[in-house]
Amino acid sequence: MGKNKRFFIQQFWREKKMVGSISPSSPFLTEKMLENVDFIEAKVIIEIGPGTGVFTRRILKKLNPDTRLLVFELNQDFYTTLKAEIIDERCVFINDSAEFLHKYLQLNNLDKVDYIISSLPLSNIPIRIVLKILHTSKNVLTSNGKFIQFQYSLNQKKALEHVFTKVSIDFTTWNIPPAFIYTCSK
């Protein structure tokens, strides 16, 4: 078992409310999550809940030199590890809640976001905070922007449809557990 997988499992057992699965996302889920991201045109991307950085590393491989990536991780251990392991001038790590996306956009002299990639375990978060994160996400997106979220169930479909005008759902069995991918637009 790799170092990142062991670390992820330790965090799952320690912080079950913050870590939504016992294993990191698979390469198949990573590709499904990122297939609707236009890396050529994107200027600002936000990632929420990166855990060990599976998506972060893949995003950085595809990112243009002038594109900014803001990564929000609330779990202190994940945040500290990511910040130490991933050094890239395009990437800013933030140890705070996604409720405060707008504040950190302003602090980084950014206005709007092209894509938000979310791995938050929405079912583990109080609904009032989920709705605040979703509304804030919608408000910071460009008119063509997308909020892309994966979950292991359809439990949060209503919350996503309550906030976003268009919600499409995809599915991959090539992940443990299998996952639903929501792509949401204004």
CATH value at residue 168: 3.40.50.150
- Starting from the edge strand earliest in sequence, which strands make up the sheet with 91-94, in order? 91-94, 68-72, 44-48, 113-118, 141-151, 179-185, 166-172
Distance, in Å, from the CA atom of 141 to the CA atom of 8, rounded to the nearest integer, reads 30
What's the pLDDT score for residue 25? Answer: 65
The pLDDT tens digits of the residues spanning 46-94 come to 999 999 999 999 999 999 999 999 999 999 999 999 999 999 999 999 9
Helix (H) or strand (E) holding 159: helix 157-163
The pLDDT tens digits of the residues spanning 92-115 come to 999 999 999 999 999 999 999 999
Residue 101, in any domain of the structure = yes
Q: SS3 of 149, please?
A: strand
> What is the DSSP track for 3-46?
HHHHHHHHHHHH-TTT---SSPPPHHHHHHHHTT--TTT-SEEE
Residue 6, in any domain of the structure = no
Q: Which residues of 27-40 are buried (b: 16+ CB within 10 A; e: fewer)?
A: eebbebbbeebeee
Q: Which domain holds residue 166?
A: 26-185
Q: Which residue has the tokens 């991933």?
A: 86
The mean of the pLDDT values for the chain is: 89
Beta carbons within 8 Å of 3's beta carbon, 6+ residues apart: none
What's the pLDDT score for residue 26? Answer: 78
Q: Tally the C-alpha atoms within 13 A of residue 32's C-alpha that lie toward its C-beta.
A: 23
Distance, in Å, from the CA atom of 71 to the CA atom of 104, rounded to the nearest integer, reads 10
Looking at residue 168, its amino acid is: S
Are the C-beta atoms of 133 and 162 separated by less than 8 Å?
no
Number of domains in the chain: 1
Residue 2, in any domain of the structure = no
% of the chain beyond a pLDDT of 90: 82
Residue 16, in any domain of the structure = no
Residue 21, in any domain of the structure = no
The residues with which 166 forms a beta bridge, in sequence order, are 185
Residue 8, in any domain of the structure = no
Residue 14, in any domain of the structure = no
Residue 19, in any domain of the structure = no
